[in-house]
Amino acid sequence: MLSPSRAGLRWGLLGVAAFSFTVPFTRVAVESGGMSPLFIGSARAVIAALLAAAALAITKQRLPRGIQWSRLAIVAGGVVVGFPVLTSFALTTAPASHGAVVIALLPAATAVMAVLRGHERPPTSFWITATVGAIAAVVFAALQGGGLSGLHWSDLLLFGAVVAAAIGYAEGGLLARELGAWQTVSWALVLSAPLMIVLTGISMAQQAPSDTPIEWAAFAYLAVVSMFLGFFAWYRGLAIGPMAQVSQVQLVQPVMSICWAVLVLREQITWPTILGGIAVIACAGIAVRTRLGPAASAGAK
């Protein structure tokens, strides 16, 4: 029988593997222009919400109570609305490998949000490495765009997506201990469904979606796996915990995403991309590991 920590890591790795295709497949879906970014970001949530509603009804899950609804709204705002919509717009112009490097900030950002949410007192080195990682990501994006003045809207959207997802991950990981892993993301999807249905209708009124089978297959993956099934594994891993250790598994996600960008999209990976990815991932890893120190544990009591 697996120890709780090992089981949490395995579930977390399964979730990360599912999420690692999100950036390249989003790029595939938006590349030809047959589907608008708003449609991809919202319609995938509508499909996932239908699956979630069916799963909740079939298994007769009890309704969340009281403040759990507001906490679910935070999860929904981060991982159902914020991250998918922002990345869909960003990846209309940004290469998947570029997006993967910026999103490599997510483990450190999730650790920061978990620290703030849990009222922990991590050592100063935690904040230093988290800040250095953020600076490294900004410098990478700026150099790719030709300098600080060359930062594109796509970069700002990607940074916004990181913040949104980090908030949703941290709150969702805590809430999963009360509602269950897949139940948390399912209720978040159902809660956000009315808004996402309206956004889907607006996007279809502006541009009727039409694309090739390949793009529709990528969209289907985003809706069923990235938006729904992947969270089953990820939130289960975070719920089993320890959350700080499981969140470290996320460090392999940008590496996997860049590999998929090369294999699926045939993108050329440059040395700045490789070095930028190493810098951001290293800082994120140090920040997450630093949070596991005695000071963090003492502050969490």
Per-residue model confidence as pLDDT tens digits over 148-191:
455 678 888 999 999 999 999 889 878 888 888 789 989 999 99
Going by C-alpha positions, the residue among 188, 227, 254, 181 that lies closest to residue 7 is: 181
Q: What is the pLDDT of residue 98?
A: 81
**pLDDT for res 301:** 37
pLDDT in tens, the chain (301 residues): 555 567 888 888 899 899 999 989 998 888 877 889 999 999 999 999 999 999 999 999 999 999 999 999 999 999 999 999 999 999 888 888 888 888 878 877 887 887 788 776 777 887 887 788 778 777 776 665 544 455 678 888 999 999 999 999 889 878 888 888 789 989 999 999 999 999 999 999 998 888 788 999 999 999 999 999 988 888 788 777 666 667 667 778 888 888 888 888 887 777 777 787 787 778 777 766 776 555 444 444 3
| Residue among 252, 296, 286 at smallest CA distance from 133 | 286
**If residue 275 lies in a helix (H) or strand (E), which one and from where to where?**
helix 271-291
Of 113, 84, 80, nearest to 188 by C-alpha is 80
In the DSSP assignment, the letter for residue 122 is -
pLDDT for the residue 299? 41
Amino acid at 218: A
CB 251 within 8 A of CB 107: yes
Give the pTM: 0.80
Question: Can you spell out the DSSP letters for 147-174?
Answer: SGGG--HHHHHHHHHHHHHHHHHHHHHH
pLDDT at position 298, please? 40
Q: Which two tokens stand for residue 185?
A: 């993301």
Tell me, what's the pLDDT at 211? 74
Report the alpha-carbon distance of residue 24 to residue 262 in Å, rounded. 9
pLDDT of residue 48: 95
- Determine the pLDDT at residue 238: 72
